[in-house]
Amino acid sequence: MSEEVYEHVFGLIIVGVIFASVVFVMPNTSYVNLFYMDQQQLRNIALKVLNAILLETGYPVNWGSQDPFNPSIVQSFGLAYADSSSFYLLDPDKVQRLVIENPSGYLEYEKVRQLLGLQDYGFNLRIIPPFNVTVVDYSQSEKNLKFDVAVTLNDEKPLPNAAVTALIVYSHFEGGSGEDERYSILQAQAQSVTDELGQCTISKVLTGEVSDVMVVFKITAAGVGPVNIVFTDPPPDIAEINMINDTVLLTHPKSTPNENRWICDIAMFTEDGVLTLYDGTKNDTLNYGSNDLWSKNFRGLKSIDPVFLFLNVNAVEKGSGRKGTLTVGPYPNYKGSRVLHYGGTPMGDVVKLQRTVSIADMDYILELMLWKES
């Protein structure tokens, strides 16, 4: 009798275990499998979108170079350079159309999302340098410049043995007075190598009468680069600089003071350094009103693919008199990036993919984040 009771109890335990497995364990297992399937599906969609962005030219194939720019002409979206068969080589004109509030025209996020067939999904795109440069200390005594520089990877780890070149661009006073003051662009250079903490010190003594200074830090490390970052932000009230195809466009920022600004020089930053593109005259002016836009075509400019342009202007600055003033553009090229933020705000489960891309002979990291919108 007791053996039958034990067998009955044991049987009930087995049935209970099976029931618990069916009720609790199996749903959890199914949930995990479904979650994995959703993540995998999201990743597959992200890969498809990333390939379309990087490998397709879009239509028209040179849609980014249209001037004036009309977003309605873009029938399909892609950033690939139409004149090259190389993978992950992006067209700088198309990339510039992803810079929000670009005065020469840009593509709205919703338009791109529609072209990519992502009505049920959101995405965010960045094109940033493979590592970061920070000036931790800077001093200037008359013509003596000194910089303490730190170089890190994107995960903020120090980058030792990085070659650091400081290309110092400055507005040099040539003579004259008042509106007839003449300025030219000069440059100087100094180099160093980062230590085990990713840091180094660079110093340089300039020559001549210096009116304004900007510094480009050119970093090369571990076969990657160069990365070019301008130290000091340009003055916001001089001009906004853009390049479309072979044309340079300068836009007045509608700020004060509003005295005429004479373009002394335009120089382009390329892999070979700073090269003069144009020597201005008294006819090359910017002001708020009759001359709030200046544009000029330079044949072959896009084939050179300058990273950014320096503009040397005879201008009145707030709180000071007329002087030679430097500014730089387009934004955000001079910060070492091409697109700082384009798209929506990530939400829920997000897939993030990265690829190394090339723009104007410079290496960047293109980062795509994709998520399903509820």
What does pTM read for this prediction? 0.80
Distance from C-alpha of 267 to C-alpha of 169, rounded to nearest angstrom: 10
CB-side neighbour CA atoms (13 Å) of 162: 32
pLDDT band at 81 (very low <50, low <70, confident <90, very high): very high
pLDDT band at 107 (very low <50, low <70, confident <90, very high): very high
Give the pLDDT confidence score for residue 17 in this predicted structure: 55
Q: Decide if 194 contacts 160 (C-beta within 8 A).
A: yes
pLDDT band at 34 (very low <50, low <70, confident <90, very high): very low
In the predicted structure, residue 373 carries a pLDDT above the cut 50: yes
* Domains assigned to the chain: 1-129+338-374 (no CATH), 131-335 (2.60.40.10)
Per residue in 122-154, pLDDT (tens digit) is 999 999 998 888 999 988 887 889 999 999 988
In the predicted structure, residue 247 carries a pLDDT above the cut 90: yes
Q: Decide if 93 contacts 77 (C-beta within 8 A).
A: no
Mean pLDDT of 43-55: 95
Give the pLDDT confidence score for residue 19 in this predicted structure: 53
Mean pLDDT of 316-341: 87
Q: Which token pair is 267?
A: 């120089």
Per residue in 338-372, pLDDT (tens digit) is 999 999 999 888 999 999 999 988 889 999 999 99
Q: Which of 105-114, 173-182, 240-249 has the lowest mean pLDDT?
A: 173-182
Q: Decide if 264 contacts 356 (C-beta within 8 A).
A: no
pLDDT band at 2 (very low <50, low <70, confident <90, very high): low
Q: Is 43 exposed, middle or buried (0-12, 13-18, 19+ CB in 10 A)?
A: middle
**Percent of the chain residues past pLDDT 90, beyond the cut:** 56
Give the pLDDT confidence score for residue 311 in this predicted structure: 95
Give the pLDDT confidence score for residue 338 in this predicted structure: 95
Mean pLDDT of 292-296: 90
Mean pLDDT of 282-290: 82
Cβ-proximal residues to 92 (8 Å cutoff; 6+ apart), any chain? 243, 302, 305, 338, 359, 360
b/e map 104-124, b = 16+ CB within 10 Å: bbbbebeebbebbebeebbbb
Q: Which of 213-217, 226-230, 294-298 has the lowest mean pLDDT?
A: 226-230
In the predicted structure, residue 7 carries a pLDDT above the cut 70: no
In the predicted structure, residue 32 carries a pLDDT above the cut 80: no
